[in-house]
Amino acid sequence: MTDIKTLMGSAALAACLAFLAAPVAAQDCERGDLDARYCDTDGDLLADIPEDPAEQIDPDTLIFAYTPVEDPAVYKTAWADFLTHLEAQTGKKVVFFPVQSNAAQIEAMRSGRLHIAGFNTGSNPLAVNCAGFRPFTIMASEDGSFGYEMEILTYPGSGIETVEDIRGKQLAFTSPTSNSGFKAPSAILKADYDMIPERDFEPVFSGKHDNSILGVANKDYPAASIANSVLARMIEREVVSRDQLVSIYKSQTFPTTGYGVVYNLTPELQEKIRNAFFSFEWEGSSLKEEFEKNGEAQFLEITYKEYWEVIRKIDAANDVSYACE
């Protein structure tokens, strides 16, 4: 695995980014909610791989990015063994790209600067429809169970004991593209509690789940909506302690980060990348060391159409549009 900084300004980086051109606009075809540059002729809700080989790419260097939920440096180390395996399986150099926001990650893939990624739950639909993202796997436990819940946290002595107590106070979200950090709580607060941002409480955006969790623990925010998978990892690393936080709401289980590729990699390369995920040996790896804190121990094959149905329904309840700028 190669660090992005090592390649910065080098001929290798120039070569790996040489293909950066706007994707060819799609011809008249079935596409559903996909951007006009993509087609979906098989109805799986994903951008089809271009049939014309001239529109496919096979870069010498692959760029990988993990969803920006926490400190990128932590996850560069966590993904090190997997990316070494990915290099061996594809015969390509692999660069870990530490994105700083969900929007930046989506734009990087849309503009051709990102080939393989893990997009957070809420960002998946936008990445699929606007950036040609083709997710095919998520992390799961050994028994195949997966997912996380959205929780609303406060701190002891905040005066907030129920969701209704947030009225007239501040509630921290993460970013507008986050499922547990914005979209799910917005839909739930509106449907179940008749609570709307600005009218009933003051919404603020922290940028990341760890920022929201630390903000509540340090009493900077009276309450925040977060993904409890992130909370579990932070407690395990002793970044925060359980006695600093109080949970006042826990949602149904949602699918976690979806991993996949950009649509216009060659079919052969996409297959090698898929095989790398499913042939990776977790035992003793840096990936297991980090993600076993959530009980995750394998990559589970999924379809976006089935596994993200609940997220698309939440988006519909929030009147979210997948229109691409």
Domain assignments of the chain as residue spans, ordered by start: 2-144+256-317, 148-254
Contact 314, 178 (CB under 8 A): no
Confidence (pLDDT) at 70: 61
| Euclidean distance between CA atoms 307 and 98, whole angstroms | 26
Q: What are phi and psi for residue 260, nearest 5 degrees?
A: -175, -160
CATH code of domain 148-254: 3.40.190.10
- Classify residue 37 by its DSSP letter: T
Residue 42 vs residues 45, 125, 138, 254, 315: alpha-carbon distances, Å: 8, 18, 22, 26, 23
Coil, strand or helix: which one is 274?
A: helix
Q: Quote the pLDDT of residue 325.
A: 67
Q: What is the structure's pLDDT at 52?
A: 96
Q: Assess contact for 256 and 278: CB atoms under 8 A.
A: no
What was the pLDDT predicted at 74?
79
Q: Are the beta carbons of 132 and 119 closer than 8 angstroms?
A: no
318-324 long-range contacts (CB < 8 A, ≥24 apart) are: 318/183, 318/186, 318/187, 320/125, 320/183, 322/33, 322/125, 322/126, 322/129, 322/130, 324/35, 324/110, 324/129, 324/130
Strands 246-254 and 93-96: unpaired
CATH superfamily to which 2-144+256-317 belongs:
Periplasmic binding protein-like II (3.40.190.10)
Amino acid at 137: T
Please indicate whether the domains covering 2-144+256-317 and 148-254 agree at the CATH topology level.
Answer: yes
Report d(CA 310, CA 246) in Å as an integer: 27
Q: Within 10 A of 271 (CB to CB), how many other CB atoms are there? A: 13
Q: Please check whether residue 150 is in contact with residue 254, taking contact to mean a CB–CB distance below 8 angstroms.
A: yes
Question: pTM of the entire structure?
Answer: 0.78
Count of CB atoms situated within 10 Å of the CB of 58: 12
- Answer yes or no: are the C-beta atoms of 185 and 248 closer than 8 Å: no
Which H or E run contains 249? Answer: strand 246-254
Tens-level pLDDT at each residue, the chain (325 residues): 544 333 333 333 333 333 333 444 546 899 999 999 999 999 999 999 999 999 999 999 999 999 886 677 778 999 999 999 999 999 999 999 998 888 999 999 999 999 999 999 999 999 999 999 999 999 999 999 999 999 999 999 999 999 999 999 999 999 998 999 999 999 999 999 999 999 999 999 999 999 999 999 999 999 999 999 999 989 999 999 999 999 999 998 999 999 999 999 999 999 999 999 999 999 999 999 999 988 999 999 999 999 999 999 899 888 888 878 6
Whole-number Å distance between alpha carbons of 90 and 106: 23
Specify the pLDDT at position 18. Answer: 35
